[in-house]
Amino acid sequence: MSSQEFRRGNNLRGARGNRRARGGWRGSSHTSASTPQKQPRANEPFGPRIDSFTTKQLLIEEESPEIENVKYVGSYNWLNDSSAIILVPGSPPAWTPLAVDGKLRPDSEPVYRDINAARYAAYPMEPAVRSVLAMQPLSELPFVDVFGCGSTFGNLLRCARSQPKPFRFDVDVIGDTVFMVRREETPTEMITDLQGYGHTFPEAYTSWDANVRNSTSHQRIVSYAFGGMQFFIRSETDGYLRDSSTGSPSLKKAQKEASIDDVLDGLGIDARQPVGGSAVTIQEQGTPIPQDAIFDIKTRASYREYNMEDILPRLWMNQTPNFLLAYHEFGKFTNPKVKSVRDSVLEWQTDNASDLARFHALVRRIVDVVRDSDGQQFEISCDGQGDLCITKQIAEGREALPTDLSGLWQSI
What is the per-residue pLDDT for 386?
A: 87
Query: What is the pLDDT at residue 41?
Result: 52
The number of C-alpha atoms within 13 Å of 159 and in the hemisphere containing its C-beta is: 30
Is 328:301 a contact under the CB 8 Å cutoff?
yes
Which is more confident, 326 or 263? 326
Q: What 3-state DSSP class applies to 311?
A: coil
Q: Which pLDDT band holds residue 11 (cuts at 50, 70, 90)?
A: very low
| Mean predicted confidence (pLDDT) in 368-387 | 95
Average pLDDT of span 210-221: 97
Q: Model confidence over 81-128: pLDDT tens digits? A: 989 999 999 999 999 999 999 999 988 888 889 999 999 999 999 999
CA 193 to CA 191: how far, in whole Å? Answer: 6
> What CA–CA distance (Å, rounded) separates 216 from 8?
8
Confidence of residue 42 (pLDDT cuts 50, 70, 90): low
How does residue 164 score in pLDDT terms, banded at 50, 70 and 90?
confident
pLDDT at residue 37 in the model: 40
Confidence of residue 302 (pLDDT cuts 50, 70, 90): very high
**Rounded average pLDDT over 254-273:** 45
Pair type for strands 177-182 and 167-174: antiparallel
Residue 202 has pLDDT above 60, yes or no: yes
pTM of the predicted model as reported, rounded to 2 decimal places: 0.85
What DSSP assignment string belongs to 36-57? Answer: ---PPPTTSPP--EEEEE-GGG
Residue 276 predicted with pLDDT over 90:
no
Instruction: Write down the pLDDT at residue 109.
Output: 83
Residue 247: its pLDDT value, please? 46
pLDDT digits (tens, 9 = 90+) for 337-346: 999 999 999 9
Q: What is the mean pLDDT of residues 149-167?
A: 94
Please give the Cα distance from 150 to 12 (Å, whole number): 34
pLDDT reported for residue 18: 54
Q: How confident is the model over 352-377, as pLDDT tens digits?
A: 999 999 999 999 999 999 999 999 99
The pLDDT, as a whole number, for residue 53 is 96
Query: Measuring CA to CA, which residue among 78, 108, 104, 107 is closest to residue 91?
Result: 78
Query: pLDDT value at position 314?
Result: 98
pLDDT at 279 (0 to 100): 79
pLDDT confidence of residue 173 = 98
Q: Does residue 10 surpass a pLDDT of 50?
A: no
- Is the per-residue pLDDT at 2 higher than 60? no
The residue among 15 and 393 whose pLDDT is bigger is 393
Label residue 76 by pLDDT band (50, 70, 90).
Answer: very high
Residue 244 has pLDDT above 50, yes or no: no
As a whole number, mean pLDDT of residues 4-19 equals: 40
Segments in 73-125 forming alpha helices (H): 115-119
